[in-house]
A and B are shown apart, each in its own frame.
Chain A
Amino acid sequence: MTQKGTKVICPSCGAENLPGTLFCTQCGTYLPSGGPLRTEPFPDQEDGRIARPRGEGKEGEEAWALNIEVEVLNTGRKVLLSVDREILVGRLDAAHGIFPELDMTTDGGLEQGVSRRHARIYTREGTCFVEDLDSTNGTFLNEERVTPYLPYAFRDGDVLMFGTMRLKVHIYSSR
């Protein structure tokens, strides 16, 4: 994701890709800022910095540990999520081995069109992203439908909608 000279370094496997590459040729990881597709510039990005392969530089990651509180607007239920790892949003289905971190079953997820594997939420360097997992009824960020498999950055106060289920987001920094 970071440009090193004229190459784009994959954040996942460290492979060098040509500028403009959208999916790492080595591991298939989506390289969002490899081209003009950039969704949201990362706050601490410096030119010429080499991205670390995943797993290295743990302390740097921890400095950015965030907590997200989501409020399910129709039931008023509030859930505090720790985003130190990826959060799957969906509906629990033990038979198919689907155990979402944010399970919408009790909030009427089925009736409101939440897919079992609906979306994922994760952070990268202090920014929260939501990525739709090709859900049946779509994911919306502030009323706008997002394209599946593309990360969209969201901020404190934004409203996420999974199918017709609306959630308000509060972001806290835990450090």
Chain B
Amino acid sequence: MATIDSQKDYYAILDVPLHAVDDEIKQAYRQKARTYHPDSGHGDAERFREVQEAYEVLHDEVLRRAYDRQREKRGLSENAPVTLTLEQSRVEIMPMAASQMLYVMAEIRPQTGIRRETVHQNLNIALVVDRSTSMNGARMRNVKVAAADLVDALGPQDRLALVAFSDRAEVLAPAHLVDNKSLFKSALATLTSGGGTEIYQGLLAGLEEVRRHASADTINHVILLTDGRTYGDETRALVEARRADAEGISISAFGIGEDWNDEFLDSLVRSAGGVSRYISTPSDVRVVLKQQIRGLSRILLQNLKLEVNTAPYVNVQYAYRAAPYLEILERSGNGVVPLGNLMVDEPVVVVLEFIIDQADMGERRIARLDLVGDGASLRTGDASEPIRLRQDVNVTFTLNPKEEPVPAKLLNYLARLSVFHLQERAWKALGVGDVKMATAYLEYAATRLFDLGHRDLGQAAMLEVGRLARGSDPTQEGRKKLRYGTRSLTGF
């Protein structure tokens, strides 16, 4: 009796398409069986058994249907819009009475062949602009131009709201279809600067506008543009962001200049599955905002989450995002890692650091990864049906482990992540007043940055090391340059 192993790709083993009819399967089986038969010239008993197993399942109508169902659950079917593939630093491990490290890379890749047109979703966004006194001049001028670009980039099916805030928020243009662009542009003209910065007020007003028309069929998003720190309302803003995430509204934040609070904006957008960006010169506002809008219209899956379930002897030390940008990912208590949005042409890569405490022999499943996401625009149609993909991390514990090279891609990601983490550690140490540790981490980061050929970032790090050594604080500019510079160390 044939057994079904959904981990195996029977279609690939027989080299037949997913929709192959029985005759094609039979023909492929005969040909493969001849090639791998142990009695033939280049026989391969293992492959032969696989071919036989594949045939037994695919040839049998009932078994094939059951197998297809299992594949579909794991996202291998033709209909799944994404693939989830894993690579491990080691597959065979020597069991030890002590902890050891295993790195696993999970690549979430949109299925090739999905075009932007097929995934087009209407946007429902609010642009929330800081109008505090410090925005006066070039910053405000550039923001206005960028916002006008934004209005032009949106179609009549998209919705937009314009909100300005200082110590209080003002809705310049309530959420409305962008069918009358001049309406929005004249609202922009009334935007003047003055007052303090209270991000909570602006965020709340922006979220309210988006909320009014939010649905599962639209991309619901708030874009926050600020140049300053907010005082005293951080906690309230974070609570709002988390609430927004639960409602399927994401937030992205853009900090202009050097005075904004990077840690706060980072955690704000992380709570709501978005990105934060550093805009060093006002004239870049236009470019960055344009990219953001283009990105939003390329969203394939929203609210992407990786659920990590580990064996009792396994712990996740860190979860990183390795692409499209670097980030130390936060995990909830039950092992859920929120990943935000998946773009149609931009794979997301997660690297997990597992610590294993296990001394027994044999093959074991040390972790199970489930990828969950909402897709409102897939050709499978059903908007309410979340996507779920599953992959297992299997390790063989043996006294004589095979010494295979670590996958080069994983190694490359790890090299960059380790630099990114070093400088993050430096800022953290500085945050608790440990200047000595911060200096050491920055120096290590600088060394590795020079090694990797990023001279400008290495120099920026050394500059801050110099300042710390002289007893002064690091510059806001250097800090942001390093944090956001190392974050984009993703190229190969």
Contact = CB atoms under 8 A, between A and B. Distances in A.
Nearest to B445: A28
Identify the interface centre among A18, A28, A149: most chain B CB within 10 Å of its CB: A28
Interface stretch (A34-42, A43-51, A66-74, A102-110): A34-42
A49 B65 CA distance: 58
B361 interface: no
B492 A37 contact: no
B99 interface: yes
Nearest to A148: B412
A96 B422 CA distance: 25
B90 A35 contact: yes
A125 interface: no
Contacts of A37: 89, 403, 405-406, 411
Contacts of A148: 412, 492
Contacts of B93: 20
Contacts of B408: 147, 150
A26 interface: yes
Interface string B392-412: 000000000111111010011
Contacts, number: 89
The 8 closest A-B pairs by CB, nearest first: A6-B98, A20-B101, A23-B418, A27-B444, A36-B403, A19-B100, A28-B418, A18-B101
Contacts of A1: none
B453 A117 contact: yes
B316 interface: no
A24 B448 CA distance: 11
B418 to A, nearest CB: 4
B432 interface: no
Nearest to B93: A20
A116 to B, nearest CB: 9
A149 B89 contact: no
A30 interface: yes
A134 B452 contact: yes
B411 A28 contact: no
Contacts of B92: 36
Nearest to A5: B98
A13 B444 contact: yes
A36 B91 CA distance: 10
A78 B448 CA distance: 31
Range for the number of chain B residues in contact with chain A: 35 or more
Given A35-B90, A36-B403, A150-B411, 16 more contacts: A5-B98, A6-B98, A17-B101, A20-B89, A20-B90, A22-B414, A28-B418, A28-B447, A30-B415, A36-B405, A37-B405, A37-B406, A97-B455, A133-B451, A133-B452, A149-B411
B355 interface: yes
Interface string B434-461: 0000000000110110011101000000
A6 B415 contact: no
Nearest to B403: A36
A38 B403 contact: yes
Contacts of B411: 22, 37, 147, 149-150
Contacts of A13: 444
Nearest to B419: A28
A22 B103 contact: yes
A37 B455 CA distance: 28
Given A37-B405, A147-B411, A22 B452 contact: no
A55 B90 CA distance: 32
Contacts of A150: 408, 411
A35 B89 contact: yes
A28 B406 contact: no
Contacts of B102: 20
Contacts of A17: 101
A21 interface: yes
Contacts of B99: 6, 18
A146 to B, nearest CB: 10
A18 B448 contact: no
A51 B449 CA distance: 24
B97 A6 contact: yes
B401 A149 contact: no
Contact of A28 (B97, B444, B492): B444
B96 interface: yes
A63 B369 CA distance: 51
B454 to A, nearest CB: 10
A149 B415 contact: yes
A15 to B, nearest CB: 10
Nearest to A13: B444
Contacts of A20: 89-90, 93, 100-103
Contact of A23 (B97, B402, B414, B492): B414
A134 to B, nearest CB: 6
Nearest to B423: A28
B487 to A, nearest CB: 16
Contacts of B101: 17-22
A6 to B, nearest CB: 4
B412 A149 contact: yes
A148 B403 CA distance: 20
Interface in A126-167: 133-134, 147-150
A5 B451 CA distance: 30
A22 B408 CA distance: 12
